[in-house]
Amino acid sequence: MIDVGEPALEGDLHTLLGRAVDQLAASTSCTQVVAWGAETGGEPRLLAARIEGASLVTPAQSPFAAARALPRAFDLGGPGVSTELKPLLEQGFSAAAPIFGNEADGTAAGVILLGGPGEPAGRVRPRTLAALSAAAERLRGPLLTAAAAKRLSSLDHEVQQLNRLAALGGLVSEIAHEIRNPLVSIKTFLQLFPERESDPEFTENFLGVARDELQRIERLLTVVLQHGRTPREEDRGDLGIALETVLALVRFRADDREISVVAELPDAIPAVGLGGDELRQVLLNLALNAIEAAPERGNVQIRGKILRSRLQLDIEDDGSGIPDDVRPHLFTPFFSTRTERPGGLGLAITARIVERAGGRIDATNRPSGGARLRLSLPLA
């Protein structure tokens, strides 16, 4: 006997499929019971199978599509069977039932096939067809749930990407200022160059300044592009590098309000268990939140330390603190205390990213005044 199962579905759903196949094999005289799912392009993919004395053959796309189009459990040897289903008979299957998991367009998510000497095609017992139909019906709910979870996961990913781009959009003036400053320096030297080109000291200084300023623009644009791109799972977050790039992005906003931003980190910090891009997103959201909460000429402090196998990072401001009625909702999507413009996604997404990485984020008020957001992340 061959028991086959591929991890096409994870967790409880995969287990449920395996149990459904086992129960069908046990309650009928069928020696082969197979559950196939549909890939994005419609190709069949093995979900679970129980086979005795035969090798498993993947059905072609055409007969698989025809089986998915069946309205109910069907004897493949009965009258009116389409020619597209005939290859399934040649593979030893005698009955099929669609598994409906996508009711939006009425198509079946997959199909259960069974067969064996005791249930020949054209003479499949009503009891067996009833068991097959019941098994397919029991799988409808879990498959619908899995499809909905997949759509929500995709939506969550898209919302995170939009949040990253929105954060950059809010920094447009700062980014423009950071690029304009070096361009002004280069422009000034170019204007003076025709008068001073015979001065070796001026020429040498000009070339050095121009090279440094262009490299500064290049580094800033690299930070912007890295922050806007989709995170890669293989990235591991270097806190020092991530914090350096984030501080470069928020520096002008802090300087414009004369807010001092000071970061204190241990000399050596291992990589944290969070993608580098997502780490920058978290730090950018927290830094912007602290700068907006701090008063004019205020202070923002970022302090990190290692506690056992975790990184603890405190982001503190000396503003008015977090009201008691606000604190429970601080990480709720679309909750915002700013009435002058829409918001409320930054901290919610930050909390989601941190929790998904096995970390946590807490909001409290400092005894001396102001808010403290404490970030705890596992080390890689």
The answer, yes or no, to whether residue 278 has pLDDT greater than 60, is: yes
Closest CA to 282 of 224, 334, 346, 335: 346
Query: What is the per-residue pLDDT for 314?
Result: 94
Please report which confidence band the pLDDT of residue 341 belongs to, taking 50, 70 and 90 as the band edges: very low
pLDDT score of 10: 44
Name the pairing type of β-strands 299-307 and 260-264: parallel
Q: Which range marks the domain in which residue 222 is found? A: 170-229
Assess whether pLDDT exceeds 70 at residue 258: yes
Are residue 28 and residue 45 in the same domain, yes or no?
A: yes
Residues 90 and 199 in one domain: no
**Does a structural domain hold residue 161?**
no
- Residue 154 has a pLDDT of 57
pTM of the model: 0.45
Residue whose entry in the numeric block shows the structure tokens 């397919």: 136
Question: Residue 59: phi, psi to the nearest 5?
Answer: -70, 150
| Pair 69, 54 in one domain | yes
The percentage of residues in the chain with a pLDDT greater than 90, rounded to a whole number, is 12
The domain tally of the chain equals 3
Which of 21-30, 69-78, 171-180 has the lowest average pLDDT? Answer: 171-180
The answer on 283 and 195 residing in a single domain is no
Confidence check: pLDDT of 282 > 90:
no
> Are residue 202 and residue 306 in the same domain, yes or no?
no
Q: Which amino acid is at 232?
A: R
Tens digits of per-residue pLDDT, 227-254?
555 545 444 578 888 888 788 777 877 8
Category of 102 on φ-ψ map: left (φ > 0), alpha (ψ -120 to 50) or beta: beta
- Which of 21-25, 119-123, 142-146, 296-300 has the highest mean predicted lDDT (pLDDT)? 296-300
**Mean pLDDT of the residues in the chain:** 76
pLDDT at 162 over 70: no
Give helix 172-196 / helix 239-256 axis angle, nearest 10°.
80
Three-class DSSP category at 263: strand
User: Is 119 contained in some domain?
Assistant: yes
167, 175 in Cβ contact below 8 A?
A: no
CA dihedral defined by 198, 200, 203, 208, rounded to 10 degrees? 180
d(CA 189, CA 17): 72
Q: In angstroms, rounded to a whole number, what is the distance separating the alpha carbons of residues 59 and 225?
A: 45
User: Coil, strand, or helix at residue 380?
Assistant: coil
Question: Distance between CA atoms of 238 and 252, rounded to whole angstroms?
Answer: 23
Q: Is residue 311 part of a domain?
A: yes
